[in-house]
Structure 1
Amino acid sequence: MKIILPLAISCLLFTACKEEKKGSVTEKAVATEVTETRTESSFEINPVSHASAVIYWNDNTIYIDPVGGAEAYKVYKPADLILITDIHGDHLDVATLEGLDTSKAKIIAPAAVAEKLPEEFTSQVDVLANGESKEHYGITVEAIPMYNLREEAKDFHVKGRGNGYVLNYQGERVYFSGDTEDISEMRSLKNIDKAFVCMNLPYTMTVEKAADAVVDFKPAKVYPYHYRGRPDVSDVSRFKELVNKGDSGIEVIQLDWYPAEPY
């Protein structure tokens, strides 16, 4: 009885708390924060896989590079805003888009992506070139260049084809790098609150280059993402070590971007 009674009380308390928050963002954040979700005030980031994520930002739902099949997004609210960075299959998947509820969504993409989208999406798409911006739902989206620097990698991501993005909302700035190396446009970013930075070979950049760039532009928080290459997975612990050696004030946050099968 001494064991069963406290256990029963704990279960009742847990159930009551869960029912009180049922259907809310808070319930999901509490349930999955360790491996999938980190919630800070009104901003919640939900890694889906590799480069794909769902953001809840106050009343807005934002999908970043939704790929991998519509089934993976059934647990999330329909998108208000969809951002697509590039034409490769880990960023653009037409079949996934067609399977999602995009009835209220605006899609922001570079021209190379827009050209590959079916006609049914034409009225929803805003084409942004590097350096351009667009506002939807109070969120201003800036298109940031993303490209390779190494000679042997230049054909992977040519300058001007794809977009990284900076999202500006209620005084906060969030950066998604897309597929890039440590380009000058990244290093010169200012006032970034949260940065999602790629690091995988041979397609983007090394952990060392990513860390060095982050120390240059000094986001308040940085999240390594897009870190599985072929064949190796980048050492995100090493990334954290290098960033904090260069600037101990930058918080490095590691989320689980590969919760199921390896990318």
Structure 2
Amino acid sequence: MKKLSSLLLLATLVLYGCKNKESNSQNNHITITPIEHATLILSIDSTNIYVDPVGKNETFKNERKPDLILVTDIHGDHLSIETLNRVTTAKTKIVAPEAVYNKLPQALKLQTTVLKNLEHKSFSINQQVFNIKAIPMYNLRAEALKFHEKSRGNGYVLTIKDKRIYISGDTEDIPEMRQLKNIDIAFVCMNLPYTMPVESAASAVLDFTPKKVYPYHFKGTNGFRDVAKFKSIINKENKDIEVEILNWYSN
């Protein structure tokens, strides 16, 4: 039955315009490449940003090395020391919460800036200024509090030129998410039991009204979340929010 449910959901993803990694997603000067689950690449003009790089030897072999890496949390689907060692160059800047920093080898620590929740810092990369703000990420449901306690991990709002990009990390529909303003692109998680249900994710998106939202991190212990339902809930209430479903699980 679980296998059948997964097949039906995958068929639904195709129906709703799921894109493959070769086509990516274009947003003016921003290209989004989904890698898998929580891992993605943002290419902004000449700057390459890796988010939670996790993967095998061949995962990033055809990708440009990162100028900037954002790490959200300590769990294995977000933090891989092996992958960081493989993709990081001498010029790569890393941004991470303290809990991640404490797990890094000394060489990577020297390239890492620690941001606590709600702290922000600007970085000059390739003659452009990137402002990064750490947004809290944590669980609300009593049965899920053990997974992500408040202040350990970071979501991020990345501001470059006139664009603001939100990356939720592992979280539920917390007040700090609902209160976000002027978000152009959002990546919002939804998987059980670790983050939040589809309905909660959609409700939060309807509150902070990004121009465009990508569901990601939607595979849980019982298979894939219904991202088509997420899209339907949002578009029923607000047709101005564009929901785009990418292929996060091609392997």
Q: Same fold (TM over 0.5)?
A: yes
Asked whether 1:52 is paired with 2:43, we answer no
Q: 147-156 or 65-74, which moves further after superposition? A: 65-74
Specify which of 123, 126, 147 is matched with residue 110 of structure 2. 123
Answer yes or no: is the 8 Å Cα contact 1:174–1:192 preserved in 2.
yes
TM-score, normalising length: structure 1? 0.85
Are 1:250 and 2:241 an aligned pair?
A: yes
Give per-residue Cα distances to partners, 1:5-53, cap 9 Å, x unaligned. Answer: xxxxxxxxxxxxxxxxxxxxxxxxxxxx931201122100000000000
Which amino acid in structure 2 is aligned with residue 97 of structure 1? Answer: L
Q: SS in structure 2 opposite 1:144?
A: strand
Per the alignment, residue 240 of structure 1 pairs with 231
Aligned pairs for 1:1-263 within 5 A: 34-36=19-21, 37-136=24-123, 137=125, 138-260=129-251
Q: Partner letter of residue 204 of structure 1?
A: T
User: Which letter maps to 1:241?
Assistant: S
Q: Distance in 2 between matches of 1:126 and 1:207?
A: 33
Write the distance in 2 (CA, Å) between the matches of 1:101 and 1:216: 37
TM-score (ref. length: structure 2): 0.89
State whether residues 69 and 99 of structure 1, in contact with CA within 8 Å, keep that contact through their aligned partners in structure 2: no
Structural RMSD (CA)? 1.0
Superposed CA deviations along residues 87-142 of structure 1, whole A, max 9, x for unmatched, are 00000000111122422100000000000000111210000000001111211010
Superimposed CA distance per residue, residues 35-80 of structure 1 (whole angstroms, 9 cap, x where no aligned partner): 1201122100000000000110011100000012342111111100
Distance (Å, rounded) in 2 between the aligned partners of 1:141 and 1:45? 18
The higher radius of gyration belongs to 1
Query: In structure 2, how many angstroms separate the alpha carbons of the residues matched to 1:92 and 1:132?
Result: 21
Q: Counterpart of 1:211 in 2: which secondary structure? A: helix
From the two aligned structures, give the one with the greater strand fraction: 2
Aligned pairs, number: 228
**Structure 1 consecutive aligned stretches of length 4 or more whose deviation exceeds 4 Å:** none
Structure 2, gaps ≥5 residues long:
1-17
User: Is contact 1:70-1:97 (8 Å) kept?
Assistant: no
In structure 2, distance between residues paired with 1:152 and 1:101: 37
Gaps of 5+ in 1: 1-32
SS of equivalent to 2:219 = coil
**Does the aligned pair in 1 maintain the 2:19–2:245 contact within 8 Å?**
no
Instruction: Calculate percent identity across the aligned residue pairs.
Output: 52
Aligned to 2:224, the other structure's residue is in SS state coil
